[in-house]
């Protein structure tokens, strides 16, 4: 039997951002990034960016949630335009 997936994408994204953002803030406050050096810090930033891009492209739930965030603004911007 297949059951529909019951996931709460906004909650998962918020929890992940809070958790990993908190860890990054603790690392910054304790001077970890200064000890790692600029090359490794840039590589960590690049990894985070690539991870976010791939998550957007591979996860339909995340993609739908992001499009839902952007769509209302896009509709408002298009209302003011004349053809």
- Label residue 53 by pLDDT band (50, 70, 90): very high
Nearest CA among 73, 77, 64, 47 for reference residue 12:
64
Domain spans of the chain, in order of start: 47-83
- Label residue 25 by pLDDT band (50, 70, 90): very high
- 38-50 pLDDT per residue, tens: 999 999 999 999 9
- Label residue 7 by pLDDT band (50, 70, 90): confident
Give the pLDDT score at 21. Answer: 94
Give the pLDDT score at 78. Answer: 67
């Amino acid at each position: 039997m297949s059951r529909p997936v019951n996931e709460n994408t906004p909650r998962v994204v918020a929890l992940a951002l809070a958790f990993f953002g908190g860890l990054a803030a603790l690392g910054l406050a304790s001077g970890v990034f200064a000890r790692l050096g600029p090359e490794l810090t840039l590589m960590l930033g690049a990894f985070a960016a690539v991870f976010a891009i791939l998550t957007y492209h591979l996860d339909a739930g995340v993609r739908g949630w992001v499009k839902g965030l952007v769509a209302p603004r896009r509709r408002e911007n298009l209302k003011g335009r004349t053809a």
